[in-house]
Amino acid sequence: MSQQITIIGGGLAGSEAALQLAQRGYEVELWEMRPGVRTEAHQSDDFAELVCSNSLKSIRLDTGAGLLKAEMRILGSILLDIAEKCKVPAGHALAVDRELFAKAVTASLETHPNIRIIRKEACELPPGKVILATGPLTSDPMMRHLREILGEDQLFFFDAIAPIIDADSIDSEIVYAKARYDKGEADYLNCAFDRDQYYTFVDALMTAEKHEAREFENEFFRSDKFSFYENCMPIEELARRGRDTLRHGVMRPMGLELPSTGKKAFAVLQLRAENNDFSAYNLVGCQTMLRYPEQKRVFRLIPGLANASFLRFGSIHRNSYLNSPKVLNPDLSLKNRHDVWVAGQLSGVEGYAECIAHGMLIARIIAGEIESLPPETILGQIWRRLLTDPPKSTFSPVNANFGILPGLDENVRDKKLKREMLSKRALDKLLECHQDPLEQ
Ligand SMILES: Cc1cc2nc3c(=O)[nH]c(=O)nc-3n(C[C@H](O)[C@H](O)[C@H](O)COP(=O)(O)OP(=O)(O)OC[C@H]3O[C@@H](n4cnc5c(N)ncnc54)[C@H](O)[C@@H]3O)c2cc1C
């Protein structure tokens, strides 16, 4: 007898998972609440709608996004295949005609004999095997239900992300490791400012161009919900409260000196390691709504970061996601419902390609085809990240970048070469262990 599964949410992760499992003979019931109930961002009634940019980012193997797509190709992603058929010219990026893409995915789902589509909002998890793929804009009744079964503090409602930079791009002549007050272990790297450097930085922050929030985002940022979360206040908004606010707050220089004079610094911005290999660092307190080019310009004014290479830019937007390291089993099912898997952005992966890849991974875990992935792969590390409490901070969404990969055994100075070597290592490892059962 064929196996049955309910998939809730016909976005990127849910659509990929539905097609993967249907292709393996599962009887799939796919729930999608649109058009009856809408999200703030989706415009159409189609499945797999890209809500903002039409780009699935780079395909170059010297980028994390490019490596992820190469891994997805080996693992047999169906939506990636459709995206490639709907692509539009965009240099090294895989950009698609969004309408064509969503319509092609919708047609594949609607015509598949093993998929039954139910256009209805799911307000609770049904019994039996379920993939929950309701995304960053999961509807309120489902959020309430999740809060009941997982606990209030295991759900986040928005995402305030500080930029992450490549460790190799930090100037080690200027930046140094030391704990504030010189107490405890030197876990943080310090970027020390003198008076002029600090005010130049603060003035640049206040005058830089912001990302224009869309209407629903504006509503969100004006709401009480947002103003409660002081820790997520954009750094440029804090700077606007007064030119000295930052140096009395997140940039206080207590016990930290200027390397050039040995005297107390005027302000210090700290960098926190993103992984145990110390290959990527987070700019502490720098969650921001500045436009990406402005982030590059302004954050490169920080002493020691003049050549910073950005692995992920800062952002703030409405985003529901689970505290996955606390609530997920190693196979990405829920600890208190072993027959429910959470796929896509709701689980704390971030980005179109990442959500598709995650939907594919969950489907293949459920089908019993994948138990683990090599740690050298981007997808293997995304999986690991979802299960690992980050050192000294709360869990935040993870995307494909080289900072999450373990380093190479050898020291390679040329950055492009190093990235290509990381990609080659990942793909070799994946090919070694992977066989697509559908191709045998
Ligand atoms: C405003 C915004 C802009 C973004 N822009 C980008 C970008 O430009 N590039 C990028 O890489 N990433 C972007 N992301 C991040 C992310 O990659 C996308 O949100 C991605 O679509 C998430 O995929 P998903 O499958 O997890 O969820 P979605 O694609 O959002 O799919 C979830 C589906 O579930 C449905 N649903 C929700 N609740 C229920 C329910 N209770 N019952 C039934 N159906 C339900 C929704 O209608 C939706 O169709 C953005 C996110 C947001 C919120």
Instruction: Evaluate: CB of 137 within 6 angstroms of ligand 1.
Output: yes
Of the candidate CATH numbers 2.50.20, 3.40.50, 2.30.30, 2.40.30, the domain formed by 164-313 belongs to 2.40.30
Does the pLDDT at position 139 exceed 70? yes
Distances in Å between the Cα of 382 and the Cα atoms of 142, 248, 354, 375, 401 are: 25, 36, 9, 9, 10
Query: Which atom of ligand 1 is least distant from the CA of 121?
Result: 42
**Angstrom distance (rounded) from CA 178 to CA 171:** 15
Instruction: Evaluate: CB of 352 within 6 angstroms of ligand 1.
Output: yes
* Domain ranges, ordered by start, for the chain: 4-159+318-439, 164-313
By most ligand atoms within 8 Å of CB, the mutation choice from 33, 145, 398 for ligand 1 is: 33
Query: Which atom of ligand 1 is least distant from the CA of 15?
Result: 25
Instruction: Evaluate: CB of 313 within 6 angstroms of ligand 1.
Output: no
Nearest residue (by CA) to ligand 1, atom 4, is 52
Ligand 1 geometric centre to CA of 11 (Å): 6
Architecture per CATH, domain 4-159+318-439, reads as 3-Layer(bba) Sandwich (3.50)
By most ligand atoms within 8 Å of CB, the mutation choice from 33, 51, 219 for ligand 1 is: 51
Instruction: Quickly state the pLDDT bin for 216 (edges 50, 70, 90).
Output: very low
Instruction: Evaluate: CB of 63 within 6 angstroms of ligand 1.
Output: no
Instruction: Quickly state the pLDDT bin for 214 (edges 50, 70, 90).
Output: low
Does the pLDDT at position 231 exceed 60? no
The predicted-structure confidence for 270-309, as pLDDT tens digits, reads as follows: 998 877 678 888 998 898 989 999 999 999 999 999 999 9
By most ligand atoms within 8 Å of CB, the mutation choice from 352, 361, 386, 399 for ligand 1 is: 352
Instruction: Evaluate: CB of 34 within 6 angstroms of ligand 1.
Output: yes
Instruction: Evaluate: CB of 333 within 6 angstroms of ligand 1.
Output: no
Instruction: Evaluate: CB of 345 within 6 angstroms of ligand 1.
Output: yes
Nearest residue (by CA) to ligand 1, atom 12, is 351
Q: Are 167 and 175 in contact (CB under 8 A)?
A: no
C-alpha radius of gyration, the chain, whole number: 22
Ligand 1 geometric centre to CA of 216 (Å): 15
Instruction: Evaluate: CB of 397 within 6 angstroms of ligand 1.
Output: no
What is the overall mean pLDDT for the chain?
90
Rounded to 10 deg, the angle between the 415-433 and 64-75 helix axes is: 20
Nearest residue (by CA) to ligand 1, atom 15, is 351
pLDDT for the residue 438: 61
- C-alpha dihedral (62, 66, 68, 74), degrees to nearest 10: -100
Q: In the predicted model, what is the mean pLDDT of residues 136-156?
A: 90
**Angstrom distance (rounded) from CA 312 to CA 138:** 24
Instruction: Evaluate: CB of 205 within 6 angstroms of ligand 1.
Output: no
Ligand 1 geometric centre to CA of 136 (Å): 5
Distances in Å between the Cα of 411 and the Cα atoms of 51, 168, 273, 407 are: 41, 11, 19, 9
Instruction: Quickly state the pLDDT bin for 229 (edges 50, 70, 90).
Output: very low
Which of 7-11, 50-54, 348-352, 374-378 comes out lowest in average pLDDT?
50-54
Ligand 1 geometric centre to CA of 203 (Å): 35
Q: In the predicted model, what is the mean pLDDT of residues 228-246?
A: 80
- Pick the more confident residue, 363 or 88: 363
